Amino acid sequence: MEALDIFTSASLWGAVLRIATPLIFGTLGALICERSGVLNLGIEGIMTLGAMVAWMTVYQGADLWTGLFVAAVCGGMFGLLHAFLTVPLGLSQHVTGLGITLFASSLTYYIYRLALPVSSSPPTIEPFQPLAIPGLSDIPFIGEALFSQTAPTYLAIFAIVVTAYVFTRTPLGLAIRMTGENPHAVEAQGLNPVRIRIGTIVVGSALMAMGGAFLTTATFNSFFPTMVQGRGWVCIALVVFASWRPGKALLGALLFALFDAYQLRLQHVIDNAIPYQLFLMVPYVLSIVALVIMSRRARVPQALMAPYRKGER
Amino acid sequence: MRLERRDNTPLVLMIAAPVVAVVIALALSGVLIALAGVNPLDAYYEMVKGAFGSRLSISETLTRTTPLILTGLAAAVAFRARLWNIGGEGQLYLGALVAAWLGHSLASVVPGPLAIVIILLAGMVAGALLLLGPVILRIRLGVDEVVTTLILNFIVLLFVSMMIEGPLKDPLAFGWPQSVPVDREVLLPKLLERSRLHIGLLVAIFAAVVVWVVQSRTVFGMETKAAGLNPKAASFAGIKLGKTLLAVACISGGLAGLAGAIEVTGLKGYVTLDLSPGYGYSGIVVAMLAGLNPIGVVITAVFVAIVFVGADSMSRALGVPSFIADVIVSISLLTMLVCLLFTSYRVRR
C-alpha cells in the first residue's frame, strides 16, 4: 500500500512539474521545428550545450536570467547552423541533426574542460529558488504542488500557451503550419517558406537550449557530461505522442514526468528487491510505448523531412 | 544562385569530397586548439606522432580501427537502404554482453576455436535481434526507427549495468561493476606480438570485403540500393520492401553486435560500462565520410582512429582537452554532408 501512498504526497506532484520543465521546453522546441516541416535531431546536443552555457555564464558571475538568455542565444545559433544545412541546402535532416548533436555536445565538453581543469567534484552555483505565488501557494496541497515552482517552470507553461495561441489564432501560425504541410502553397501565397523554416528552427532550438539550461540552473546546481541523458530523444518521441499539438505536448511531458517522479519514489519504498536499473529504464520504455500507440493516429505534417527546393518537386 | 542536379558525378569529386571535408574540419578545429593557447600545427604534428610515431602507437591505432570498421559498416549498410539505424552503440553493448557471458561459460564445454566462432556468431545474433524490434515496428506500424533505436541505446546500457552488477558480476573485481572475464581459451589470437592488436582487424576487413561483394555483385545488393533510392519504384519493380529491410537490419545489427563481441574477446576480456567510447555513434561518421562505400569505410575508420589515438597523446603532451577528437570527427561529418551535396548538385547563377 505504501506504493500507492506516494500519490497522495504533495512533494510528488511538485516534483512532476520540476521534472517536466526541461521536457516541456524541449518538446515545444522540437514541435515548433517539425510543424514547419523540419525534424531537428540536434536537440540532444543543443540541450547539452544549453546546460553548460547557462551554468558557465552564471559561474562566471552573471545572474541566472542572463545565463538562461545566453543559453537560448547559443541554442539559436546552432539552430541557425542546422537550418542552413537542412533548408537552403536541403541535406538529410536525420544525418544533419545527428551531426549537430555530436558537434554541439563535443564542443560543450571541450569548452567546459578548457575552462575548468579536472576536479573530483564539479563546482556549483546558486540555482533558481522556488517562487511561491502569493495567495495561491498557501492553498494546502495544491499550493505546494503547483504554485511553489521555480520561475522558469512558469515560463515553460507560458511558452506553451503562447505557441498554441500563435499556431491557431495568428497569420504567422497559419503560415508556419502551411509550410509544414505544403511549402509550394506557401510560395504561391507570396510568402517565403525557406525563411519561415529557418525562423522556426532558430526559435525551436533556443527553447531546446533553455530546457537544457533548466537542468543546471534549477534541477541541479552543476554541470557534468552526459547529464541530459537522452531527454532530447524523449522529447522527439513526445512530439509524436502529442500529435504535433502544443497542448498535448504539455500533457505528454507531465504524464512522462509523473511516471519518472513516481518511479524515483517507488525505488525507496521497494528498496533493493528490484534492481534500480529497471526503474531507470521505465521512462525510456514508456517513450517507445508512446510512439507505438500514437504513430498510427498521429497527424504528421505532410511535408515533414521533405526538403523544399524552389522549382524542384 | 540556385542548386542544380548533376547528371552524373565525376569520380574526382567523389574522392575529393572527403579530403576537402576533413581539411576544412581540421582548419575549423584548429581555431579551437588555438583557443587553448596551443599552435594548431604543433597539435596536429603531435597527433600524427601519437598515432604513427612508434610501433606501439601504430598497433594502438589499428586496434582502435577494428570496432570502427564494424560499426561504420553497420551504419553504411543500413543507411544505403534508408534504414536509419542509430542504435549501433546499443547493439555493440548487447553483442559484448553476450560474448562475455558465453566466453565465461562456453570454453569448458566446447574446444577453444569452435567456441570463438560460436561467441562471435552469438554476438552478431544479439545485435541483429536488437535492431529487428525497431525495424518491425517501422514496417508494421510506421514508427520512426531513428527515435526507437536511439532510445534503445539507453535501455541497453542500463540492462548491461544491471547484468554486470547482478548475475554476470565478477566476484573478484573488488566491487567494481565489471562482468565475469572470458576464458583464456576464447581470447582472439594476437596479430602482432607485444601489442594489443588482435585478429579482429582481419575479421573486420574481411567483413568489409564481403559487404562490398554483396552490395555490388548480387541481386540482393541491388535490391537494397533500389529500396533506399526510391522505395515506390522498387516496390513496383517487385522488390519486397519489408523483407529487404529485415535482411538489411540483420546485417547491420549483426555487424554492430560483432564489433562488441570482438572488443570483448580480442581486447578487454570483460564488459564494463566504458567498453565503448561511442563507437556506435562514430560509426555513423565513418560511414558518411566513406560515402557509404564499404571499402571506403576501412579507410575512414583508420582516419577516425588516428584522430582519437592521436588526440589522446597530443592531450598528454600539450594539455589540449582530448574532447578535441570528438569535435574534429563531428565537424568532419557536417562538412562531409555539404561536400557530398556538391558531388550531386552544382551551383548555378
pLDDT of residue A8: 75
CB distance A41–B146 less than 8 Å?
Answer: yes
Asked if B333 and B288 touch (Cβ cutoff 8 Å), the reply is: yes
**Predicted confidence (pLDDT) per residue in B286-307, tens digit:** 999 999 999 999 999 999 999 9
Q: What percent of chain B has pLDDT over 90?
A: 71
Q: Determine whether the interchain pair B147/A107 forms a contact, defined as Cβ–Cβ distance below 8 Å.
A: no
- Which domains are assigned to chain B? 2-348 (1.10.3470)
Q: Report the CATH number at residue A215.
A: 1.10.3470.10
CA-to-CA separations, B223 to B217, B230, B255, B295, in angstroms, rounded: 11, 11, 20, 20
Which residues in chain B are contacts of A95 at CB distance < 8 A? Answer: 79, 284, 288, 333, 337
pLDDT of residue B282: 95
| A147 Cα to chain B: minimum distance (Å) | 33
Decide if B289 contacts B336 (C-beta within 8 A): yes
CB spacing of B148 vs A95 below 8 angstroms: no
Domains in chain A: how many in total? 1
Tell me the nearest-neighbour CA distance from B321 into chain A, angstroms. Answer: 6
Q: Which residue has the cell 504528421?
A: A300
Instruction: Report whether B169 contacts B178 (CB < 8 A).
Output: yes
Q: What is the mean pLDDT of residues A81-85?
A: 96
pLDDT-derived band at A1, boundaries 50, 70, 90:
low
**Residues in chain A closer than 8 A to B330 (CB atoms):** 99, 102-103, 106-107
Residue A65: give the domain boundaries: 18-115+143-294
Which whole number is the average pLDDT over B125-137? 96
Which among A78-92, A107-121, A123-137, B223-237 has the top mean pLDDT?
A: A78-92
With CA atoms as reference, the chain A residue closest to B342 would be: A89
Q: Chain A: residue nearest B79 by CA?
A: A95
Collect all residues of chain B within an 8 Å Cβ-Cβ radius of residue A96: 334, 337
pLDDT exceeds cutoff 90 at B201:
yes
pLDDT number for residue B74: 98
Cβ contact (<8 Å) for B288 and A95? yes
| Other Cβ atoms within 10 Å of A277 Cβ, number | 17
**A97 part of a folded domain:** yes
CA distance A16 to A170: 32
Q: State yes or no: pLDDT of B200 exceeds 70.
A: yes
Contacts of A147-152 spanning 24+ positions with Cβ under 8 A: A148/A14, A149/A14, A149/A17, A149/A18, A149/A21, A150/A18, A150/A21, A150/A218, A152/A21, A152/A68, A152/A128, A152/A210, A152/A213, A152/A214, A152/A217, A152/A218
Q: Is residue A286 part of a domain?
A: yes
Residue B28 half-sphere exposure toward CB, CA atoms < 13 A: 18
Residue A310 lies in a domain: no
Confidence band, pLDDT 50/70/90 cuts, at residue A311? low
Examine residue A313 and state whether it is found in any structural domain, yes or no.
no
Instruction: Give the Cα separation of B248 and B131 in Å (integer).
Output: 10
Give me chain B's average pLDDT, please.
Answer: 92
Query: Is the pLDDT at A313 greater than 60, yes or no?
Result: no
Q: Is residue A212 part of a domain?
A: yes
3-state DSSP of A154-213: HHHHHHHHHHHHHHHHCHHHHHHHHHHHCHHHHHHCCCCHHHHHHHHHHHHHHHHHHHHH
For chain B, what percent of residues have pLDDT higher than 70?
99
Give me the residue from A90, A96, A107 closest to B327, CB to CB.
Answer: A107
Q: Where are the beta strands (DSSP E) in B6-144?
A: none
* Of residues B281, B337, B335, the one with CA closest to residue B75: B281
CB A184 within 8 A of CB A302: no
Interval A274-289 mean pLDDT: 88
A194 close to A88: Cβ distance less than 8 angstroms: yes
Q: Are A234 and A283 in contact (CB under 8 A)?
A: yes
Q: Is B154's CB within 8 Å of A90's CB?
A: no
ipTM exceeds 0.85: yes
Model pLDDT, residue A270: 77
- Which helix (DSSP H) or strand (DSSP E) does residue B85 occupy? none
pLDDT reported for residue A312: 64
Average pLDDT, chain A: 90
Tell whether A125 is covered by a domain: no
H/E stretch holding B347: strand B345-348
pLDDT in tens, B238-272: 888 889 999 999 999 999 999 999 999 999 999 99
Q: What is the pLDDT of residues B302-330, one digit of tens each?
A: 999 999 999 999 999 999 999 999 999 99
Three-state SS at B190: strand
Please give the Cα distance from B296 to B289 (Å, whole number).
Answer: 8
**Smallest Cβ distance to A278: which of B150, B153, B162?**
B162
Residues 6+ apart with CB under 8 A from B216: none
Q: Is B219 exposed, middle or buried (0-12, 13-18, 19+ CB in 10 A)?
A: exposed
A128 located within any domain: no
Q: How far is CA B216 from CA A177, B81, B223, B295, in A?
A: 43, 14, 11, 11
- Amino acid B94 reads L
Lowest mean pLDDT among A212-216, A270-274, B84-88: A270-274
| Grid coordinates given for B75 | 551504419
Cα separation, A83 vs B224, in Å, equals: 30
Is B333 close to A278, i.e. CB distance below 8 A?
Answer: no
